[in-house]
Amino acid sequence: MSELLISRHGRVLHLALNRPQARNALNNALLTQLAEALEAAAADPEVSACVISGGQRFFAAGADLNEMAEKDLPATFDDIRPRLWARIDAFPKPLIAAVNGYALGAGCELALLCDLVVAGDNARFGVPEITLGIMPGAGGTQRLIRCVGKALASRMVLSGEAIDARRAQQAGLVSDIYPPALTDEYALKLAATIARHSPLALRAAKQALRQSQEVGLQAGLQQERQLFTLLSATEDRREGIDAFLQKRTPQFKGR
Amino acid sequence: MVEAFILSTVEQGVMTITLNRPDRLNSFNDLMHQQLAECLTQAERDDSVRCLLITGAGRGFCAGQDLNDRNVDPSGPAPDLGLSVERFYNPLVRRLAALPKPVIAAVNGVAAGAGATLALGCDIVLAARSASFVMAFSRLGLVPDCGGSWFLPRVAGRARAMGLALLGEKLSAEQAAQWGMIWQLVEDAELADTSLQLARHLAAQPTFGLGLIKQALLAAETNGLDAQLDLERDYQRMAGRSADYREGVSAFLAKRPPQFSGK
């Protein structure tokens, strides 16, 4: 059985982490598979959005500690993991994390890297690295503080304590909460709703949202306007507006 | 030989938990809490347990926290009562509430302090005519714990909850039944049979669905209508996929009694 289960639902790609014996710990092999699957999906015009999920009881419970323990300073300096994370982060289409149970350490960082997180009401998010004498190393200190604010981010990073789904939703880490038995299903439904929209508009909108984390407001507004202008040159834009005015469902072509 | 402060048996889908320190009116000490927690772990894991029945040995149901066990020393430093609440009572209440199976309390005698709030927090409460509920906390300068301050206004209404909690007077089972705080008042001699019969009935019902009903009603205590409607949609979706729903419909169509598996 593969450690990453890949399935297609219309225009939605579903990637399910499947290392239950290791609570879906994200070792290099699994991260590599994730990166490869996402790169293939990025190039596939039939895929518009992607959902990453884990099991009912855990999304991913961290990195692989055995792998990490072997690395001394020079080896950590040369670690391949930052490049793997960068490849995953480069996925240009909407990426949704469907989180049931534990999303800890690297698992939490993977969820934070996604555009959207929906969660089962049993979900728990945390960065317990500090309890191991290390710290988050794949965005846990950067993306977390940008989405939940200083108070909660500092509390989580410095204490190592996890928060539940409700708190994560209040803080802005999670958009929707569902019963765990339905989380994947609703995530796929949400992805299907997203995937009905113009692929070019989705990419442009995602890029604009991402840039809001990178640049100041004025530069962000400028880039937003450029992306907006770019879309005006697409067939899909004409189709979208025509379909709306004619009260019919648009047929987007990705052009 | 460790003393058995909790007796438990599983029979016909019913786990009967008997609080068993009759000489101390079944009041809680740490060891009793630990033994109860072990029973709950079994109830959570064992699919063949489909209903929980909690009762007391001897003449009382439960007198709450055993003050002798808290090493009360009036001249010593202030104790941290929050510790036993956090370690024992809160997990107990949370686990009983989260248990996706019905929990029945058969209140056979006096239920005081945490014993009273524990009983009133169970899903279905039966009480013997001679039983009573005493919110004893206020008389010691304490606060209702074991879920008391949450459950009381919900089962009794705020006016009665305030009266009960602030005055700490004994409430007869009969009055509790009249006020709608419990499900049923039963003659003393019939309590054991009646409660066991009810538990066995529930243990043969669609447990998965009952668990969802319980969670839905608990969620309704804090949800707005909008969120609750969404929750009903989700739970109905899950219930509709259960084996027992299929069985219930087939049995109805075939005009035969259903055989529910609890799944």
State mean pLDDT over B213-226: 96
Q: Quick count: other Cβ atoms within 10 Å of Cβ A217?
A: 8
Strand order in the sheet with A58-60: A58-60, A102-104, A124-126, A163-164
Q: Report yes or no: A166 at the B interface, CB cutoff 8 Å.
A: no
Distance, in Å, from the CA atom of B131 to the CA atom of B62, rounded to the nearest integer, reads 11
pLDDT at res. B49: 97
Say whether B145 sits in a helix, a strand or coil.
coil
Distance, in Å, from the CA atom of A182 to the CA atom of B79, rounded to the nearest integer, reads 45
pLDDT at res. A72: 87
- What are the tens digits of pLDDT across the range B30-85? 999 999 999 999 999 999 999 999 999 999 999 999 988 776 677 888 888 999 99
Q: Quick count: other Cβ atoms within 10 Å of Cβ A167?
A: 16
Give the pLDDT band (50/70/90) at residue A77. confident
Does residue B16 have a pLDDT over 90?
A: yes
Q: Report yes or no: A182 at the B interface, CB cutoff 8 Å.
A: yes
- B109, B59 contact by CB (below 8 A): yes
pTM: 0.89
Indicate the residue type of A195. A
CA distance B29 to chain A (A): 30
Q: In whole numbers, what is the pLDDT of chain A averaged over residues?
A: 95
Q: In whole numbers, what is the pLDDT of chain B averaged over residues?
A: 95
Structure tokens at A236: 């899909």
User: Which residues in chain A touch residue B237, judged by CB atoms under 8 angstroms apart?
Assistant: 182
Say whether A56 sits in a helix, a strand or coil.
coil
Share of chain B above pLDDT 90, in %: 93
Does residue A46 have a pLDDT over 80?
A: yes
pLDDT at res. A206: 97
Q: Report yes or no: A58 at the B interface, CB cutoff 8 Å.
A: no
Does residue B1 have a pLDDT over 90?
A: no
User: Which residues in chain B touch residue A178, judged by CB atoms under 8 angstroms apart?
Assistant: 234
User: Which residues in chain A touch residue B234, judged by CB atoms under 8 angstroms apart?
Assistant: 178-179, 182
Give the pLDDT band (50/70/90) at residue B195. very high
Mutate to test the interface with A, among B44, B94, B237 (most CBs of A within 10 A): B237
pLDDT at res. B9: 97
- Maximum CA pair distance of chain B? 73
pLDDT at res. A1: 59
Mutate to test the interface with B, among A118, A182, A184, A185 (most CBs of B within 10 A): A182
Structure tokens at A33: 């598979």
pLDDT at res. B71: 64
Q: Which among B107, B129, B130, B109 is positioned nearest to B118, based on CA atoms?
A: B107
Does residue B197 have a pLDDT over 90?
A: yes
pLDDT at res. A255: 87
Q: For residue B178, give Cα distances in angstroms to A177, B125, B148, B171, B172.
A: 39, 13, 20, 11, 10
User: Which residues in chain A touch residue B228, judged by CB atoms under 8 angstroms apart?
Assistant: none
pLDDT at res. B101: 97
Distance, in Å, from the CA atom of A147 to the CA atom of A251, rounded to the nearest integer, reads 34
- What are the tens digits of pLDDT across the range B93-117? 999 999 999 999 999 999 999 999 9
Report A:77-116 residues touching B (Cβ under 8 A). none
State mean pLDDT over A132-150: 94
State mean pLDDT over A6-25: 96
ipTM for the predicted complex:
0.83
- What are the tens digits of pLDDT across the range B23-43? 999 999 999 999 999 999 999
| CB pair distance less than 8 Å for A181 and B235 | no
